[in-house]
Amino acid sequence: MLRDPALEGVDTGREAICRGRVQRRRMPGCNGVRDFIHWVVAGDRTAATLPSSLGERGWRACVVSSAEAVPDLSADGGGHCCAGLVDLRGCHGPAPASLQHIRDVLGSGRAWVAGLSPGQVRLDVVRKLVRDHCHDYVVLPCEDGLLATVLGHAHGMARLGGRDDVLAAPAPSLDGMIGDSAAMQLLYRHLRRVALTGAPVCIGGETGTGKELAAAAIHRHSARRDGALVVINCGAIPDSLLQSELFGFERGAFTGAIQRKRGRFEHADGGTLFLDEIGDLPLESQASLLRFLEQGTIQRLGGHEDIAVDARIICATHVDLGEAVERGRFRDDLYHRLRVIELHMPPLRERDGDIALLAAWALARHVGEGGSHVRGFTLDALRAMHDHPWPGNIRELVNRVRQAVVMAEGPRITARDLRLADAPVAMQTLGEARSEGERVAIERALARNGRRLQAAARDLGISRVTLYRLMNRHGLRGQADGTGTG
Ligand SMILES: Nc1ncnc2c1ncn2[C@@H]1O[C@H](COP(=O)(O)OP(=O)(O)OP(=O)(O)O)[C@@H](O)[C@H]1O
């Protein structure tokens, strides 16, 4: 049973608290000295003496003996002291309330090393505490130098990718769009510039790259920011309903039209209308949209009156509209009207450095879910994320991290938690292996080229006709053109 009066509400750590505060005020100015918190969780502080050589090795301890005395990094402001030694030698099976308290402090923004007595790691409760919340553990007393090395690793890991950096650092962003890569910096500049005009904008890019976020950023930076941003996904509404949804209807326009209804265009008056998946717009609605772009008016279904609407049109597509025009699925004249300004959302795999940044941001966002205490990513997870082609882009990354936060067994998310570890190799014939390789190569080429068949075929060194045939064979047709036809 853990006996730690401080954790149970009786403060025996006054002196230590004072020492801690004095130390903390001095710490930021000291160069070349690495500070760490030595938290003696239970028992006699003097019995918890550390090797004196720690000081010679540039380590200075801030000794505390209660959870309340452990400095809060956010209060310190700088996070200069990010290693901690939690001395559990006096603990022999903590009481549940105390355990929760220890957990809360351990999870509060520092890389902790547990100091244990011989054999203590065999206690279930201690093992779980160490596994879930500590960077490492040492059995004390230990060899001179070992503790300094372990603390050094903890300090370095906290700075590199530990909770301090991962969960506290604000991610560079524009209106909720996280990203610091050159591709995103360029995009931010373009978005700001585009926002100053009123011209239609067509945003292209693979699924999950943030086209809707980009549209929202343009709206928020434009003179129309006080008006509504109305969003409609043209692919999500049945063709038969889309026209009335967009343009509204008059009473009696069809069976069930018992009263007049305004459509999305009218709702967007004075603001912006974002037409997502514009490639799915049926031909009838394409004609009405073209009329709006040319005359600035719409007609409700069943009506004859021209209604003036002042809305800016932003549209997005993940299919190649040029190809849709070629196939007669999209009007040529509308295509040219819509692409007065074209923006392209870079795929995640082309955003240098953004994968780690977004993963850290997603982790910080979801870490509280299900009581998770995950503190960062292992090196193999970072490597696997770097190598993955991310066909679902940011949406896929956020979903993988979110699920990993819930499922992770240890304090750091691994490639396996992200479902990016190599699957066990199944028995395959040579023919099966070749076919599998072919499928993967096609999928990657399609992902790399924003699902544009011509470009993917060029990449693969085959004709478009051959690519079509192979996609049919591997059941990839629907994925590539977004329609399953053609
Ligand atoms: N740069 C980013 N930073 C943070 N979150 C992002 C970023 N880009 C996209 N997301 C998130 O990823 C998800 C997908 O984004 P969004 O819907 O804008 O993508 P999309 O390109 O419009 O996708 P689709 O073509 O499938 O409609 C959303 O949850 C969005 O918040």
Instruction: Given the cut 0.90, state whether the ipTM is greater than it.
Output: yes
Q: Rounded to whole angstroms, what are the CA distances from 183 to 180, 320, 458? A: 8, 21, 24
From 191, 206, 212, 275, give the residue whose CB has the most ligand 1 atoms within 8 Å, as the site to mutate. Answer: 212
Confidence of residue 447 (pLDDT cuts 50, 70, 90): confident
What lies within 8 Å, CB to CB, of 74 at 6+ separation is 109, 168
**CA 141 and chain centroid, separation:** 42
Is residue 24 within 8 Å of 60, Cβ to Cβ?
no
- Please tell me the distance between residue 80's alpha carbon and the centre of ligand 1 in angstroms: 35
Ligand 1 neighbourhood includes 354 CB (under 6 angstroms): no
Would the pTM of this model clear 0.95, i.e. be above it?
no
The confidence score (pLDDT) of residue 309 equals 97
- Please tell me the distance between residue 476's alpha carbon and the centre of ligand 1 in angstroms: 23
Ligand 1 neighbourhood includes 179 CB (under 6 angstroms): yes
Is residue 36 within 8 Å of 79, Cβ to Cβ?
no
Q: State pLDDT tens for residues 344-372.
A: 999 999 887 788 889 988 998 888 776 67
Ligand 1 neighbourhood includes 208 CB (under 6 angstroms): yes
Tell which atom from ligand 1 comes closest to the C-alpha of 178. 3
| Mean model confidence pLDDT for the chain | 78
* Both structure tokens of 274: 């974002």
CA distance 424 to 240: 47
CA distance 203 to 339: 9
Q: What is the DSSP letter of 260?
A: -
Nearest to 365 by CA among 322, 405, 313, 410: 405
Confidence of residue 398 (pLDDT cuts 50, 70, 90): very high
CATH architecture of 348-413: Orthogonal Bundle (1.10)
- Please tell me the distance between residue 206's alpha carbon and the centre of ligand 1 in angstroms: 10
From 180, 184, 209, give the residue whose CB has the most ligand 1 atoms within 8 Å, as the site to mutate. Answer: 209
Cα angle 333-286-298, degrees, rounded to a multiple of 5? 105
The confidence score (pLDDT) of residue 44 equals 62
Burial of 56 (0-12, 13-18, 19+ CB in 10 A): exposed
Is residue 480 within 8 Å of 451, Cβ to Cβ?
yes
CATH class of 430-481: mainly alpha
The confidence score (pLDDT) of residue 283 equals 93
Q: Which of 8-22, 65-79, 295-309, 452-466 has the lowest mean pLDDT?
A: 8-22
CA distance 433 to 440: 11
Side chain identity at 363, as an amino acid letter? L
Please report which helix (H) or strand (E) contains residue 111, including its range. Answer: strand 111-116
CATH class of 174-344: alpha beta
> What are the sequence ranges of the domains in the chain?
14-168, 174-344, 348-413, 430-481
Decide which of 3.30.360.10, 3.40.50.10860, 3.40.120.10, 3.40.50.2300 is the CATH code for 14-168: 3.40.50.2300
- Please tell me the distance between residue 373's alpha carbon and the centre of ligand 1 in angstroms: 26
CA distance 281 to 235: 7
CA distance 39 to 85: 6
CA distance 126 to 90: 12
Ligand 1 neighbourhood includes 279 CB (under 6 angstroms): no
- Please tell me the distance between residue 238's alpha carbon and the centre of ligand 1 in angstroms: 23
Ligand 1 neighbourhood includes 204 CB (under 6 angstroms): no
The confidence score (pLDDT) of residue 175 equals 78
Q: State pLDDT tens for residues 25-72.
A: 233 333 456 777 788 887 665 556 777 777 777 777 888 777 777 765
Q: State pLDDT tens for residues 179-209.
A: 888 889 899 999 999 999 999 999 999 989 9
The confidence score (pLDDT) of residue 159 equals 58
Q: Are 174-344 and 430-481 the same fold in CATH?
A: no
Ligand 1 neighbourhood includes 451 CB (under 6 angstroms): no
Q: What does the CA dihedral 235, 239, 243, 248 come to, rounded to 10 degrees? A: -90
Is residue 474 within 8 Å of 442, Cβ to Cβ?
yes
Judged against a pLDDT cut of 50, whether residue 22 lies above it is answered with no
Q: Which residue has the tokens 């599998």?
A: 436
Ligand 1 neighbourhood includes 110 CB (under 6 angstroms): no
CA nearest ligand 1 atom 25, residue:
207
CA distance 305 to 316: 29
* Both structure tokens of 396: 């896929």
Other beta carbons less than 10 A from residue 441's beta carbon: 14
Confidence of residue 465 (pLDDT cuts 50, 70, 90): confident
